[in-house]
Each structure stands twice: as C-alpha cells, then as structure tokens.
C-alpha cells in the first residue's frame, strides 16, 4: 500500500500535468466548443479508456517495446499523425449548416468515445511518459509493483477526469454561443483544423 503522502503528491502532480496544454486537452477543448459538453464528456471517457490501456501496458511491461523498438514507435506515431490529419481534413471541409445539423441530431456516443480512445492510444509519447512517470512513485518494499502501478494509473485517470471534464463543461457551455453565428462556427472549424495540423506536425517530429 502506498503512503498517503505519496498518493497526495502523485495526484497533485497528475492534476498539474492535466492542466498543461497538450494534444488531449486541446482535443477536448475544441470538440466540446464545436459540438457541446455532452460530446466533450464522452470524448473524455474515451481518452481515459486510452489511459487505462497505457496503464496496463506499463504494468505488464509492454510499453518497454516502444522505448526499445524504433520501428514500433514510428509505426504507432505515423498512425497517430494520419488520424490527426484526417480530423484536420474533416474540420476544414465542415460547414456551419452541417455542424448545426449534426448538433441537432442525437449524437453518436460510440463514435466520439472511439475517437477519444484512438486519439490517446495512437500517441506513443503517452506510453513512454507513463513508463517514466508511474514507477517513480512505486516502492517494491511495499508489495507487488504491478498493483501499485495500477493504483497510480487509476489516480492519474481520476485527475484527468476532473481536469478534462471541467474543460468539456466550460467549452461545451460556450458552444451555445458559437452556434448563434455561422461565421463564428466557420472560424472555429478552421481554427480546429489548424490545431490538428499543428499537433500532427508536433507528433511527427517527436523522438523517443
């Protein structure tokens, strides 16, 4: 069992990391602003599911593959870059009437959920971050490390839900204002597409 002080320190660090600008929270921000807070919350759940997979990968030692294999890292990175460019293409070709039509329908929760998972899982930097970050707070003298890593991963996910959920709530509330103007919606979609392109370039240039 981890000491209470370690848990508090780790959770505080996780909250601070969640608030730092990055691909995932920017993704939640832009999608919530465009499509509403409900869609934003579903994306957050998808991202956190991805974090669960990263936690399992670290606990079971799978993430070491991406640290030691340049080919595996590159393949996953290229998949992530391709997906970000696909999202950018969708954003650039979107029109205000299409966005309004999409928002007036019952949104496809499975689609947004899967989008969140894919966005998170195809970023190999997350696996490497977990591989470097989580073990720092584990103590072999306090029991099996695998259970400690799973606990730490769960705490990180809780912090992510709090931070990203707040982002989805605030940005989603503003989406009602965005939907009042076709011009504002068009600007937002173009800005979103530009953000996705920038994130794709950043990921493409990333190194292990």
Whole-number pLDDT of residue 2? 82
Nearest to 84 by CA among 42, 51, 128, 118: 118
Q: Both tokens of residue 99? A: 């966005």
Whole-number pLDDT of residue 51? 94
pTM above 0.85, yes or no: no
Whole-number pLDDT of residue 179? 60
Q: What is the CA radius of gyration of the chain?
A: 18
Report helix, strand and coil shares of the chain as percent, to nearest 5: 85, 0, 15
Give the pLDDT means over successive 10-residue stretches in the chain (208 positions).
88 88 82 86 95 90 71 78 81 59 56 88 80 82 86 95 94 71 69 78 75
Q: Both tokens of residue 120? A: 């998170």
Cβ within 8 Å of residue 148, ≥6 positions away: 2, 137, 138, 139, 142
Give the whole-angstrom CA distance, residue 204 versus residue 74: 9
Whole-number pLDDT of residue 100? 45
Q: Both tokens of residue 71? A: 């080919």
């Amino acid at each position: 069992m981890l000491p209470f002080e370690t848990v508090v320190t780790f959770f505080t660090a996780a909250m601070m990391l969640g608030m730092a600008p990055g691909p995932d929270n920017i993704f939640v921000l832009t999608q919530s602003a465009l499509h509403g807070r409900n869609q934003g919350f579903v994306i957050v759940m998808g991202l956190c599911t991805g974090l669960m997979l990263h936690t399992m990968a670290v606990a079971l030692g799978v993430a070491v593959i991406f640290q030691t294999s340049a080919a595996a890292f590159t393949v996953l990175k290229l998949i992530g870059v391709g997906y970000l460019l696909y999202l950018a293409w969708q954003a650039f070709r979107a029109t205000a009437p299409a966005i309004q039509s999409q928002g007036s329908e019952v949104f496809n929760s499975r689609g947004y959920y899967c989008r969140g998972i894919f966005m998170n899982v195809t970023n190999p930097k997350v696996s490497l971050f977990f591989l470097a970050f989580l073990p720092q707070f584990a103590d072999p003298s306090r029991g099996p490390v695998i259970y400690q890593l799973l606990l730490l991963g769960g705490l990180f996910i809780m912090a992510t839900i709090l931070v990203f959920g707040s982002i989805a709530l605030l940005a989603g509330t503003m989406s009602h204002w965005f939907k009042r103007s076709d011009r504002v919606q068009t600007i937002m979609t173009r800005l979103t597409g530009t953000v996705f392109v920038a994130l794709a370039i950043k990921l493409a240039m990333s190194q292990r």
